[in-house]
């Protein structure tokens, strides 16, 4: 066996080990689609905020008052907007990842995928409850930074079970969330950068690195 054959065999073994411990079928296209959906969602949210708030409304509370007020309708609208964006992004992620898993021959729900989901959705679930509490206590201005930070923590936690780019996406989301926390006037802009632009950037990068060549070879 030549040295090149040995190197090829080692690369093959390493690939098998990676596939057994990490979920490598995550599709970059799902990130691109999620980013586009997030930008559309934040554009709609910004429109509702502009229409529903007084010009001098506090960026932390959005002018929340005790009892019923037009702000209550705004908060409900924002929650519905976020729920629709989340559902569409998850459906897109499932669809593109399912298609790639069929091409790569990796099961969509194997042991590595289960570990990935647990490490991803535990921080996300806690973050979701925390954000609902912020709405409940009349602090909607903190929701955008909180979602960025909890999402970044979830990605960082799950990154050891999938592609390395997810770790850097998580770190980037954390940084944007911390900055947005102390710059509430621009919180929606940072949210759009995190969930929109960064998803498109990292999703495109993952596609170019791992998917484009495999598609061309099919």
DSSP H or E stretch at residue 212? helix 212-217
Whether the per-residue pLDDT at 26 is higher than 60: the answer is yes
Question: Mapping DSSP to helix (H, G, I), strand (E, B) and coil, where does residue 173 land?
Answer: helix
Q: What predicted TM-score, i.e. pTM, was given to this entire model?
A: 0.80
pLDDT recorded at residue 126: 94
Q: What is the pLDDT of residues 42-84, one digit of tens each?
A: 898 888 777 766 556 677 776 654 444 555 567 777 778 888 8
Residue 197: name the closest of 167, 165, 169, 158 by CA: 169
- The C-alpha angle 77, 49, 179, rounded to 5 degrees, equals 105
In terms of pLDDT, which residue wins out, 148 or 80? 148
> Do residues 112 and 20 touch, judged by C-beta distance below 8 A?
yes
Whether the per-residue pLDDT at 168 is higher than 80: the answer is yes
* CA distances for 17 relative to 7, 98, 216, angstroms: 15, 21, 25
Report the pLDDT averaged over residues 186-199.
92
CA-to-CA distance for 51 and 166, rounded, in angstroms?
A: 36
pLDDT recorded at residue 85: 84
Name the phi and psi angles at 55, rounded to 5.
-55, -30
pLDDT recorded at residue 172: 95
pLDDT recorded at residue 200: 93
Question: Mapping DSSP to helix (H, G, I), strand (E, B) and coil, where does residue 139 land?
Answer: coil
Where residue 24 falls among pLDDT bands split at 50, 70, 90? low
Torsion of CA 171, 161, 205, 99, to 10 degrees: -140
Report the pLDDT averaged over residues 188-194.
93
Whether the per-residue pLDDT at 151 is higher than 50: the answer is yes
Q: What is the pLDDT of residues 173-185, one digit of tens each?
A: 999 999 999 999 8
> Do residues 101 and 25 touch, judged by C-beta distance below 8 A?
yes
Q: What is the pLDDT of residues 93-147, one digit of tens each?
A: 888 888 877 777 767 777 777 888 888 889 999 999 999 898 888 888 899 999 9
Tokens of 78: 């924002």
pLDDT recorded at residue 141: 86
Where residue 149 falls among pLDDT bands split at 50, 70, 90? very high
In terms of pLDDT, which residue wins out, 109 or 150? 150
pLDDT recorded at residue 83: 81
């Amino acid at each position: 066996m030549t040295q090149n054959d040995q190197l090829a065999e080692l690369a093959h073994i390493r690939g098998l080990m990676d596939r057994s411990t990490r979920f490598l079928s995550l599709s970059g296209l799902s990130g691109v689609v999620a980013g586009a959906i997030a930008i559309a969602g934040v554009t709609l949210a910004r429109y509702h905020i502009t229409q529903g708030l007084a010009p001098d409304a506090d960026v932390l509370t959005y002018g929340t008052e005790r009892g019923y007020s037009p702000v209550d309708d705004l908060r409900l609208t924002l929650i519905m907007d976020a729920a629709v964006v989340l559902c569409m992004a998850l459906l897109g992620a499932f669809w593109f990842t399912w298609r790639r898993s069929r091409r790569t021959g990796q099961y969509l729900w194997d042991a590595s995928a289960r570990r990935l989901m647990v490490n991803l959705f535990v921080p996300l679930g806690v973050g979701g409850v925390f954000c609902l509490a912020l709405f409940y206590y009349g602090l909607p201005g903190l929701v955008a930074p909180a979602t960025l930070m909890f999402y970044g923590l979830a990605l960082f936690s799950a990154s050891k079970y999938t592609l390395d780019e997810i770790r850097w996406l998580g770190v980037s989301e954390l940084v944007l969330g911390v900055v947005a926390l102390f710059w509430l006037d621009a919180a929606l802009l940072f949210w759009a950068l995190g969930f929109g632009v960064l998803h498109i950037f990292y999703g495109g990068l993952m596609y170019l690195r791992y998917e484009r060549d495999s598609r061309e070879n099919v």
